[in-house]
Structure 1
Protein backbone atom coordinates (compact mmCIF):
# COMPACT_ATOMS: atom_id res chain seq x y z
CA UNK A 1 0.00 0.00 0.00
CA UNK A 2 1.44 3.34 -1.01
CA UNK A 3 0.98 6.43 1.09
CA UNK A 4 -0.47 9.40 -0.73
CA UNK A 5 1.45 12.62 -0.62
CA UNK A 6 -0.79 15.59 0.10
CA UNK A 7 -0.26 18.99 -1.41
CA UNK A 8 1.21 21.48 1.07
CA UNK A 9 -1.25 23.81 2.77
CA UNK A 10 -1.71 27.26 1.33
CA UNK A 11 -0.97 30.29 3.50
CA UNK A 12 -4.73 30.88 3.82
CA UNK A 13 -5.37 27.30 4.98
CA UNK A 14 -2.50 27.46 7.47
CA UNK A 15 -3.80 30.77 8.86
CA UNK A 16 -7.30 29.30 9.27
CA UNK A 17 -5.94 26.27 11.12
CA UNK A 18 -3.88 28.46 13.44
CA UNK A 19 -6.94 30.63 14.12
CA UNK A 20 -9.09 27.59 14.94
CA UNK A 21 -6.37 26.14 17.18
CA UNK A 22 -6.27 29.37 19.19
CA UNK A 23 -10.04 29.36 19.89
CA UNK A 24 -11.33 28.01 23.21
CA UNK A 25 -13.51 24.88 22.95
CA UNK A 26 -16.77 26.71 23.74
CA UNK A 27 -16.21 29.19 20.88
CA UNK A 28 -15.92 26.56 18.14
CA UNK A 29 -19.20 26.14 16.26
CA UNK A 30 -19.93 22.45 15.73
CA UNK A 31 -23.62 22.96 14.93
CA UNK A 32 -23.24 21.67 11.38
CA UNK A 33 -21.79 18.35 12.61
CA UNK A 34 -24.45 15.83 13.66
CA UNK A 35 -23.86 14.23 17.07
CA UNK A 36 -23.21 10.50 16.82
CA UNK A 37 -25.12 8.62 19.53
CA UNK A 38 -25.45 5.12 18.06
CA UNK A 39 -22.09 3.36 17.84
CA UNK A 40 -23.55 -0.15 17.42
CA UNK A 41 -22.28 -0.44 13.84
CA UNK A 42 -18.79 0.86 14.62
CA UNK A 43 -15.83 -1.38 13.85
CA UNK A 44 -12.37 -1.18 15.40
CA UNK A 45 -9.16 -1.39 13.45
CA UNK A 46 -10.63 -0.70 10.02
CA UNK A 47 -8.47 2.33 9.27
CA UNK A 48 -5.62 1.88 11.74
CA UNK A 49 -3.66 -1.26 12.35
CA UNK A 50 -0.70 -1.12 14.70
CA UNK A 51 2.58 -2.54 13.51
CA UNK A 52 3.02 -6.05 14.85
CA UNK A 53 6.27 -6.89 16.56
CA UNK A 54 7.53 -10.36 17.24
CA UNK A 55 8.14 -11.07 20.89
CA UNK A 56 9.97 -14.21 21.86
CA UNK A 57 9.34 -15.57 25.33
CA UNK A 58 11.69 -18.07 26.75
CA UNK A 59 13.09 -19.24 30.02
CA UNK A 60 16.50 -18.18 31.12
CA UNK A 61 18.85 -20.81 32.58
CA UNK A 62 19.26 -20.52 36.33
Structure 2
Protein backbone atom coordinates (compact mmCIF):
# COMPACT_ATOMS: atom_id res chain seq x y z
CA UNK A 1 0.00 0.00 0.00
CA UNK A 2 2.86 2.41 0.68
CA UNK A 3 3.86 2.30 -3.00
CA UNK A 4 0.33 3.16 -4.12
CA UNK A 5 0.13 6.13 -1.76
CA UNK A 6 3.52 7.33 -2.94
CA UNK A 7 2.42 7.09 -6.57
CA UNK A 8 -0.90 8.87 -5.99
CA UNK A 9 0.63 11.69 -3.94
CA UNK A 10 3.67 12.19 -6.15
CA UNK A 11 4.56 15.88 -6.38
CA UNK A 12 2.14 16.89 -3.60
CA UNK A 13 3.86 18.13 -0.45
CA UNK A 14 2.49 16.71 2.82
CA UNK A 15 1.48 20.22 3.93
CA UNK A 16 -0.69 20.68 0.82
CA UNK A 17 -2.25 17.25 1.30
CA UNK A 18 -3.15 18.04 4.91
CA UNK A 19 -4.63 21.41 3.89
CA UNK A 20 -6.71 19.77 1.16
CA UNK A 21 -8.05 17.18 3.59
CA UNK A 22 -9.03 19.89 6.08
CA UNK A 23 -10.83 21.83 3.36
CA UNK A 24 -12.70 18.75 2.13
CA UNK A 25 -13.65 17.80 5.69
CA UNK A 26 -15.01 21.29 6.30
CA UNK A 27 -16.98 21.19 3.03
CA UNK A 28 -18.59 17.86 3.94
CA UNK A 29 -19.35 19.15 7.44
CA UNK A 30 -21.05 22.17 5.88
CA UNK A 31 -23.46 20.01 3.89
CA UNK A 32 -23.98 17.40 6.61
CA UNK A 33 -25.60 19.85 9.01
CA UNK A 34 -29.40 20.01 8.91
CA UNK A 35 -30.66 22.98 6.93
CA UNK A 36 -32.65 25.34 9.18
CA UNK A 37 -34.74 26.31 6.13
CA UNK A 38 -36.32 22.84 6.13
CA UNK A 39 -38.70 21.74 8.83
CA UNK A 40 -37.87 18.03 8.78
CA UNK A 41 -34.12 18.23 9.50
CA UNK A 42 -33.32 17.31 5.91
CA UNK A 43 -29.65 17.90 5.06
CA UNK A 44 -30.34 18.84 1.44
CA UNK A 45 -30.38 22.51 0.50
CA UNK A 46 -33.81 24.10 0.45
CA UNK A 47 -35.24 24.25 -3.08
CA UNK A 48 -35.36 27.64 -4.76
CA UNK A 49 -38.62 29.51 -4.21
CA UNK A 50 -41.25 28.99 -6.87
CA UNK A 51 -39.81 25.76 -8.23
CA UNK A 52 -42.55 23.57 -6.81
CA UNK A 53 -39.93 21.13 -5.53
CA UNK A 54 -40.82 21.70 -1.90
CA UNK A 55 -44.44 20.73 -2.58
CA UNK A 56 -43.32 17.62 -4.48
CA UNK A 57 -41.00 16.56 -1.66
CA UNK A 58 -43.69 16.89 1.01
CA UNK A 59 -46.22 15.07 -1.13
CA UNK A 60 -43.84 12.15 -1.62
CA UNK A 61 -43.27 11.89 2.14
CA UNK A 62 -47.00 11.85 2.86
CA UNK A 63 -47.55 8.76 0.68
Q: Per the shorter chain, which TM-score range?
A: under 0.3
What TM-score, normalized to structure 2?
A: 0.27
Scaled by the length of structure 1, the TM-score of the pair is: 0.27
Structure with the higher fraction of residues in helix conformation:
2
